[in-house]
Amino acid sequence: MTIFEAIIQGIVQGLTEFLPVSSSGHLSLSQHILGVQLDSLLFDILLHLGTLLAVCAVYYKLFLRLIRAFFRLIADVFRGRFKWKDMDEDRRLLIMLVIGLLPLFLLFVPVPGTGMDIKDLSEQWSKDTNLWVEGFAFLATSVLLFLGIRAMKRARPHTVRDGKGTKEIKGRTKLRTADAVTIGLTQCCAAVFPGLSRSGSTLCSGLLRGVNQQTALDYSFVMGTPSILAAAVLTIGDAANEPVNIGIGVMIAGVLTAAVVGFLAIKLLKWIVTTNKLEIFAYYTLVLGAVTIVVSIIETISGQNICSGLPL
């Protein structure tokens, strides 16, 4: 892999990890079009860590608050002072994050008769030579986005107070246990199917639950951070056993590109959500899914990659 190809992969990863269009699906498409496979698991991990840096750069103040809330929570538990109904906003968010991450353990459930876990299916589908799964998953992302947009428009407005006074918003700003479980299950599904956007599906599942759009978006981003980190930790052992066939310069180029582009993508999505322009991504994934399925049909009939000419 050249530095140019690494930058392309970094751009794709940085943009699609946070925009509601699926990073795994677009990485699979870009590799299919370029005829390039990410043979280095380490490089894949580094790309995800680059996007993790982007989240930390945008939400570092919130992360610091959550860290303080965690230590205060532990102290109150040991002192017998913890009360569920008296939790402040940061402590409540921390608890909801823990609940939302629990469904990820379903990824380690074995699939009968295959010798694989559920998470292994995603890796298999991402590395295969056809794009059927990606195509239908893009369509599923589009459906979720349209449903989320509809729910957001139909939400009842109400007035809330903040440090600057009062303002009118739509949807609940307080997450409930059922919200966290629903969003967590959606994130689990997105981890399995390349082409099903993690950010888009978790955001829209929150909207369908009646959660405020900004609250659902922030929760989605923050919940994705430990998910990315856990995935890196779980695969670092396998990466250490693989030969490194990509240069240091290539790795640095990919990571920096993913971090910078990811930072800009988060800012862009926050603006798009607050200005009610999610339809852009709903139509984009709809068209992309349809085109991907058509390409899959053509390639299945011809028996070769129509972009690279390589056999399937």
Confidence of residue 286 (pLDDT cuts 50, 70, 90): very high
Q: Measured between alpha carbons, how far is residue 72 from residues 100, 222, 228 in Å?
A: 21, 20, 25
Q: Is 310 among the domain residues? A: no
pLDDT at 163: 60
Pair of tokens at residue 32: 């299919």
User: What is the distance between the alpha carbons of residues 108 and 90, in angstroms, rounded to a whole number?
Assistant: 30
Segment 225-251 shows an average pLDDT of: 73
Q: How confident is the model at residue 291 (pLDDT cuts 50, 70, 90)?
A: very high
Region 97-108: mean pLDDT is 90
Tell me the sheet residues that pair with 111. 116
Q: Is 312 a member of any domain? A: no
Residue with the bigger pLDDT between 168 and 55: it is: 55
In a domain, 99, yes or no: yes
**Among candidate residues 296, 213, 265, the one with its CA nearest the CA of residue 50:** 265
pLDDT over 60 at 38, yes or no: no
* Structure confidence by residue, pLDDT tens digits, 255-284: 999 999 999 999 999 899 888 888 999 999
Asked whether residue 308 is assigned to any structural domain, the reply reads no
Nearest to 307 by CA among 28, 38, 72, 101: 28
| Domain count within the chain | 1
* 113 φψ region: left (φ > 0), alpha (ψ -120 to 50), beta (else): left
Average per-residue pLDDT for the chain: 85
CA 40 to chain centre: 21
Tally the residues of the chain: 312
Instruction: Report pLDDT digits (tens) over 111-145.
Output: 888 788 888 887 788 777 788 999 999 999 999 99
**Is residue 307 situated within a structural domain?**
no
pLDDT exceeds 70 at position 287: yes
- Segment 9-24 mean pLDDT: 86
Most confident of 14-28, 176-190, 236-250: 176-190
- Percentage of residues in the chain having pLDDT higher than 90: 33
**Cα(278)–Cα(129) distance, rounded to whole angstroms?**
31
Q: Report in angstroms the alpha-carbon separations of 122 from 28, 44, 194, 196, 241.
A: 11, 14, 7, 11, 21
HEC sequence for the chain:
CCHHHHHHHHHHHHHHHHCCCCHHHHHHHHHHHHCCCCCCHHHHHHHHHHHHHHHHHHHHHHHHHHHHHHHHHHHHHHHCCCCHHHCCHHHHHHHHHHHHHHHHHHHHCEECCCCEEHHHHHHHHHHCCCCHHHHHHHHHHHHHHHHHHHHHHHCCEEEEEECCEEEEEECECCCCHHHHHHHHHHHHHHHHCCCCCHHHHHHHHHHHCCECHHHHHHHHHHHHHHHHHHHHHHHHHHHHCCCCCCCHHHHHHHHHHHHHHHHHHHHHHHHHHHCCCCHHHHHHHHHHHHHHHHHHHHHHHHCECCCCCCEC
Domain that holds residue 188: 3-302
- Residue 137 C-alpha from the chain's centroid: 14
Asked if residue 165 is part of any domain, the answer here is yes
The tokens describing 280, both together, are 């852009």
Query: Per residue in 295-312, pLDDT tens?
Result: 999 988 888 888 777 777
Q: Cα–Cα distance between 241 and 228 in angstroms, integer?
A: 20
pLDDT of residue 257: 94
Question: Which residues share a beta bridge with 166?
Answer: 161
Q: Which residues contact 198 (CB under 8 A, 6 or more apart)?
A: 17, 22, 23, 187, 190, 191, 220, 224, 227
Please determine, for residue 40, whether its predicted confidence score (pLDDT) is greater than 70. no
- CA–CA separation, 269 vs 231, rounded Å? 24
**Band of residue 15 on the pLDDT scale cut at 50, 70, 90:** confident
Q: Which residue has the higher pLDDT, 235 or 19?
A: 19
pLDDT band at 242, cuts 50/70/90? Answer: low
pLDDT confidence band for 208 (50 / 70 / 90) = very high
The answer as to whether 54 is a domain residue is: yes
